[in-house]
Structure 1
Amino acid sequence: MKKQLKIFLVIALFASTACTKETEEKTTGTEQNLPLVAAFPELSFTRPVDFQHAGDKSNKLYVVEQRGVISVFENEQKTSTKATFLSIEDRVEDSDNEEGLLGLAFHPNFESNGYFYVNYTASNPDRSVISRFNLSSTNPDEADPNSELVLLEYEQPYGNHNGGQIAFGPDYYLYIGVGDGGKSGDPHGHGQNRSTLLGNILRIDVDQENGAMPYSIPDDNPFAGNTEGFKEEIYAYGMRNPWRFSFDTATDQLWVADVGQNSYEEIDIVKNGGNYGWNTMEGFHCFKADECNQENLELPIWEYDRDEGDISITGGFVYHGEALPQLQGLYIYADYVSGRIWSLDFSDTENPVNTELFKADFPISSFGVDQNQEIYICGFDDKIYKFGLE
């Protein structure tokens, strides 16, 4: 309980909130009441931060616990058993609230090659580590902890804004969400510095090595082959702390939720080479002054402020399941602190409609989907939830 209180305080201090282009233009849909129900009532998880399936038609689900453990279990409501798929607690640094084992992604060909990838914080020195592990050759519910291949490491100057999301895109490249390195206001200017890996969405090709590097740079990365010292891994930049991103399976668009500083949380649809503004902008607003140079910046598609106790955005998914037809094509997301969950209808790009679905009484750390594209919610009350019927 003391740990959870500390999480609230830290995020309240360093995170942010938001509204939209102009407050008077904000369109709010009729509030719904889609209650949450425990998806797997017999199972509990310690600080679950990610929820994945392997895309292998196995009906198995995987939950990432921030302390450094990944659990696997059958996608059955009555399941009462889970197995430890991977435990790397001895390698994971989670003493600060935004550190830990933060992301999991299965290779698109996991069914044949057994590869999966993780994003975790390590210490001495403090850094983020992107690694590949192999499935055990003897147990399909267990990874080989000795198979770690470190792909990429980058220093974390502070204990917050570690980002953490990793996911394969429709192009089979691995995307990595990286925060600005932490502290308040981006003191080192990482967000607008393309010579650092911090403050970006990265994209790498894990199927091709490049000399001593265990990955290669996609040819169409915006700074591939540049001679100016820009990091070639960068796909998009100007991020503060992208806390969860996902690809719309219908359009291939990359949706990113970026945690703000003092006033605004934002949602971006990210494109190759885009500059998403931090720390020149926070949401639709100049961060340090009333006026700022917005030339060549990509503005959010949505923002919200903290007028109603919202403090830190948790990104989700564009819904394409079948259980909740009223949510079809809507982006589902939440606020970690307030527990509010919304749907965002962006079909009319000039007039997006935001609708509150439910207000949970626990912190919402992440979302996930199963192989049927049904959506799940990770709660820091140690449970996994889904939407019930009205």
Structure 2
Amino acid sequence: MKLHLTHAFLIATLLLACSSKDPDTQEVPEIPKGGIKSSDAFPALKFNLPVELVQAPGDSSRFYLIEQEGTIRTFENARTVASSPVFLDIKNKVTSGGERGLLGLAFHPDYKTNGFFFVNYTSGNPLKTTIARYKANPATHQADPASETVLFTFNQPYSNHNGGSMQFGKDGFLYIATGDGGSGGDPQNNAQNLKSYLGKILRVDVNGTSKGNYGIPADNPFATNTEGNLPEIYAYGLRNPWRISFDMANTRLFAGDVGQNEREEIDIITKGGNYGWRLKEGVDCYNPASNCNAAGLIEPIHDYTQNNGDRSITGGYVYRGKAIPALAGKYIYGDYVSGRIWALEMNGDTKKENVLLMENQGSISSFGQDVNGEVYFLNYSDGKVMKLVNGN
């Protein structure tokens, strides 16, 4: 994910992305023109640098939206809604700009009764990521900024590739996506280092206390290891997973992993899985540039080249709504740079077809899904919340 880019940095990124390889065939025949459209879901609302949209468990009546600089706003789920009060303001704690900021939000499965929710943000000098719990009054939709309980922190060696997405699984555990620590090419090889939090999917028990303010699920891959590997690690070998999500119909965990200079990828995350970075970028060798040892590495279910102007994947959601039957069971995702949105259809855990739904949708910073399975996305550049709707 490439946020808040300067023109110079964007131009440099585009030049680096050039490849001599032929474009792949990610754009199969489109759904007929007008079949799927985007609609301004809340015409009276506009947000500052929006990066996440969620609903609390079991509550379809309102949304919560992260603004990158350190605020969470809440608003009613009504097209006519005219205001978005602040739910939480922690700008005094957050270091933002570029790919830094308040980046993730997840509500406790029992939020209605305990008021707990969790955030992921960058702060400090030296820079670090903080995973913290806050408490709110679910009845008044107001969080207490003084209620922070830090679960854990870890250092960020560079300002980019912070990941940030968090999701609760049906197992009740919190899954946390982390980037490789930044710069380019993972110079510290963090993603393959099992003693680093970086370049991983972490899984923790927010109701446990074995690690102080959280616990380690007993079946985590390194929960009982004696080699110093981090027990929080669930999967590894990721570059910058920008948005993870669970399929509402099952336990499949999807990740959109932003590429380096050539390929963007989508992964289905499994316990203990190694997704290859920095050995591989998508299906290609990266370091070493050829003859990389792919033994034990999990291939993406889909990847695409950057040759067509698609240079920063934004992971999405499996559509489980009722408004657009043609999208049922398809994984909806987009690209931040090109503004394209696709629907990925699968046979089980393998790719069947990838269909381009729409183009020119702005800087897609995040997708969102309501409790009824409908899918939304955020336009980072104009601050709008858009919804996928049936165009027929």
Moved more, 53-62 or 213-222: 53-62
| Deviations 1:200-251 (CA, angstroms, capped at 9, x unpaired) | 000000001116x211110110011101110110000001000001001112
- Which residues of 2 match residues 1-390 of structure 1 at below 5 A? 4-6=4-6, 9=9, 13=13, 28-33=28-33, 34-57=36-59, 59-95=61-97, 97-136=98-137, 140-210=140-210, 213-288=212-287, 289-347=289-347, 352-380=352-380, 381-390=382-391
User: Counterparts of 1:122 and 1:232 in 2: how far apart (Å)?
Assistant: 24
Which one-letter code corresponds to 2:37 in the other structure?
Answer: P
Which one-letter code corresponds to 2:70 in the other structure?
Answer: G
Mapped contact 1:56–1:110 kept (Cα < 8 A): no
Unaligned runs of 5+ in 1: none
Unaligned runs of 5+ in 2: none
Mark the CA change 1:271 to 1:11 in structure 2 (over 3 Å): closer, same or farther. Answer: farther
User: Counterparts of 1:350 and 1:249 in 2: how far apart (Å)?
Assistant: 18
> By how many angstroms is 1:124 displaced?
2.1
> By how many angstroms is 1:125 displaced?
2.2
Which one-letter code corresponds to 1:98 in the other structure?
Answer: E
Mapped contact 1:17–1:262 kept (Cα < 8 A): yes
Mark the CA change 1:66 to 1:339 in structure 2 (over 3 Å): closer, same or farther. Answer: same
Which one-letter code corresponds to 1:216 in the other structure?
Answer: G
User: Counterparts of 1:6 and 1:27 in 2: how far apart (Å)?
Assistant: 29
Mark the CA change 1:87 to 1:350 in structure 2 (over 3 Å): closer, same or farther. Answer: closer
> By how many angstroms is 1:16 displaced?
9.0
User: Counterparts of 1:131 and 1:39 in 2: how far apart (Å)?
Assistant: 30
User: Counterparts of 2:350 and 2:27 in 1: how far apart (Å)?
Assistant: 11
Moved more, 247-256 or 171-180: 247-256
User: Counterparts of 1:16 and 1:236 in 2: how far apart (Å)?
Assistant: 29
User: Counterparts of 2:41 and 2:178 in 1: how far apart (Å)?
Assistant: 30
- For 2:184, what is the secondary structure of its paired residue? coil
Mapped contact 2:301–2:350 kept (Cα < 8 A): no
Mapped contact 1:178–1:201 kept (Cα < 8 A): yes
- For 1:35, what is the secondary structure of its paired residue? strand
- For 1:30, what is the secondary structure of its paired residue? coil
- For 1:352, what is the secondary structure of its paired residue? strand
Mapped contact 2:38–2:387 kept (Cα < 8 A): yes
Mapped contact 2:116–2:135 kept (Cα < 8 A): yes
User: Counterparts of 2:41 and 2:146 in 1: how far apart (Å)?
Assistant: 32
Mapped contact 1:314–1:364 kept (Cα < 8 A): yes
Aligned residue-pair number:
383
> By how many angstroms is 1:14 displaced?
9.2
User: Counterparts of 2:61 and 2:109 in 1: how far apart (Å)?
Assistant: 16
TM-score normalized with structure 2 length: 0.93
- For 2:296, what is the secondary structure of its paired residue? coil
CA RMSD in angstroms, aligned pairs only:
2.3
Mark the CA change 1:18 to 1:376 in structure 2 (over 3 Å): closer, same or farther. Answer: farther
Moved more, 252-261 or 28-37: 28-37
User: Counterparts of 1:313 and 1:27 in 2: how far apart (Å)?
Assistant: 15
Mark the CA change 1:85 to 1:25 in structure 2 (over 3 Å): closer, same or farther. Answer: closer
Mark the CA change 1:8 to 1:355 in structure 2 (over 3 Å): closer, same or farther. Answer: farther
| Percentage of matched positions with identical amino acids | 46
Mapped contact 1:131–1:149 kept (Cα < 8 A): yes
Which one-letter code corresponds to 2:329 in the other structure?
Answer: G
Which one-letter code corresponds to 1:130 in the other structure?
Answer: I
- For 2:145, what is the secondary structure of its paired residue? strand
User: Counterparts of 2:351 and 2:60 in 1: how far apart (Å)?
Assistant: 41
- For 2:203, what is the secondary structure of its paired residue? strand
- For 1:9, what is the secondary structure of its paired residue? helix
Mapped contact 1:119–1:164 kept (Cα < 8 A): yes
Mark the CA change 1:370 to 1:24 in structure 2 (over 3 Å): closer, same or farther. Answer: closer
Mark the CA change 1:316 to 1:259 in structure 2 (over 3 Å): closer, same or farther. Answer: same
User: Counterparts of 2:69 and 2:269 in 1: how far apart (Å)?
Assistant: 30
> By how many angstroms is 1:7 displaced?
7.6
- For 2:326, what is the secondary structure of its paired residue? helix
Mark the CA change 1:172 to 1:162 in structure 2 (over 3 Å): closer, same or farther. Answer: same
Mark the CA change 1:38 to 1:8 in structure 2 (over 3 Å): closer, same or farther. Answer: farther
> By how many angstroms is 1:57 displaced?
2.5
Mapped contact 1:259–1:265 kept (Cα < 8 A): yes
